[in-house]
Amino acid sequence: MNHSECNHFHKPKRSARIIKCIYIVGFMDLFGVSMIIPLLSHHVKALGASPIVSGVVGSTYGVLQLFSSTLVGSWSDVVGRRFSLLTCLLLSAFGYSLLGMSTSIALFVLARIPVGLFKHSLSICRALLSDVVSETERPLVMGHFNAASSVGFILGPVVGGYLTEHEGGFYMSSFVCAAIFLLNAGLVWMLPWSEILNQRLDANRNSKSRQPYDGLRNCDGNHDGSRSTTKTSLSPGSLGKDWGNMALLQLTSVGAQIRMVASSDMWDVFLVRLLMALAIMLYHSNFSLAMEERFDLKPKVTGYMISYSSMLGALAGCLVGPMTRLYRGNMSALLLHSTAFTCSLIFLYAAAGSVWHVLLSSTFFAISTSVGRTCITDLELQRGGSARASGTLIGAGQSVTAVGRILAPLLSGLTQEISPCGPPSLGVLLALTALVLLLVRTPKGAKMKDKNAKE
């Protein structure tokens, strides 16, 4: 009896250590990436690319992410979080190493391909967090993970800018980024995956919806298929046949997962995600240029405002837990209110008559968007069934966001021709559409949740 009580006492501590390790992975991931992102356009230009070629090369990553997000997320449900996360980290490290050797446009494009296809480590980390915590703890943990990642994204450009001041700074930054991803892979390898599997099983027992599918069934690398392959493969021919059968089985399972999500009644959640992603991107698009044209603001002051807003967005991740408790776990209502607040703040920015109005909107905009981002992810997992396909659902959400990244520059350019306030004005209309959709569809989602709870 005392032994079981002791295990029960130490279980939360073990769980907290695992979650903190995943926070570190998220922080280091965006820290390394943000060292490179501000330098890419300058490096392409230094290689002799024209503006058109630079635009095409820059869009390569977004297009690859669009098609690979859902596939890799579903693949992580099939093969397990450990194998998929290690694969993504190692191949991303290879891509950034190749980027550090890119002395031509062709090599630069080649280096972006593995990163565009496999830079989904953050999505898999989110799926892993949803696996090891209960549904009530998930918004709090996701908020803290987003906060840790955002801090890395704020600090990374500072280090990258410092390294760029030296000769060969871009290449040095690329190799440092690759080393960070290798360190992340080592940290993921050393995680106590047997305890993670136990936490997953405990979370399933405590949740209301019990699903037979277990996305972590292969996380320890000892699933039945691999053992049988080891025992029966006596010749190179049989080994190749077994690997071919395993690959075919995985491909079939990935297709089944994607079809399950595609056939689900979740179009409203994904459409809200797309509309709000576009609205937020239009708010941020050409921000420096708009501040200069509207208020004659110097780029240095605009940079301070952007840094201030980014820091608030990082800290806002810690507010998700208290706000979830305030709403008693009703994520639909919290998303509805945060969307309405975000829409109002975009309107305030579009109609701002002074810099102080912009500063006020930026202050609360960073908080509302951070809360809304966590809410929409949690709502996707609630509506889709996190125990069966959390990786597929999160990957599908990232694909929707990638569509927004492709459309936002085009819409921003078209509306910027009309007025400096054009992009945020269009953002207001898109956010209003998302708000109306939530008002119409939220009651249906709540009824579905109540029905699932009764079953």
Q: Look up the pTM and report it.
A: 0.79
Amino acid letter for position 305? M
User: Which of the residue ranges 30-34, 194-198, 262-266 would you say has the lowest mean pLDDT?
Assistant: 194-198
Diameter over CA atoms, the chain: 76
Confidence of residue 249 (pLDDT cuts 50, 70, 90): confident
Paired tokens of 273: 């995600």
Give the model confidence (pLDDT) of 331-389 as tens digits.
Answer: 889 999 999 999 999 999 999 888 899 899 988 998 899 899 989 988 888 887 645 57
pLDDT above 90 (res 276):
yes
- Give pLDDT, residue 196: 67
**Structural domains of the chain, with CATH:** 11-197 (1.20.1250.20), 253-455 (1.20.1250.20)
| Predicted confidence band of residue 308 (pLDDT cuts 50, 70, 90) | confident
Give the count of beta carbons closer than 10 Å to the beta carbon of residue 413. Answer: 13
Any alpha helices (H) in 207-286, and if so which ranges? 224-232, 236-262, 267-284
CB–CB of 218/79 below 8 Å?
yes
Q: Which residues contact 129 (CB under 8 A, 6 or more apart)?
A: 19, 22, 138, 141, 142, 145
Question: Positive or negative CA dihedral for 371, 372, 375, 377?
Answer: negative
Residue-level pLDDT at 366: 86
Phi-psi region of 171 (alpha: psi -120 to 50; beta: other; left: phi over 0): alpha
pLDDT at 221 over 60: no
Q: What does the pLDDT look like over 141-164, one tens digit per residue?
A: 998 998 899 888 888 888 887 887
Report whether 410 contacts 238 (CB < 8 A).
no
User: pLDDT: is 251 or 95 the higher one?
Assistant: 95
The 10s digit of each residue's pLDDT in 27-59 is 999 999 988 887 887 788 888 877 777 777 777
Instruction: Compute the average pLDDT of residues 269-280.
Output: 93
Instruction: Express as a percent the part of the chain with pLDDT over 90.
Output: 26
What tokens were used for 450?
């109540």
For residue 238, pLDDT over 60 is answered with no
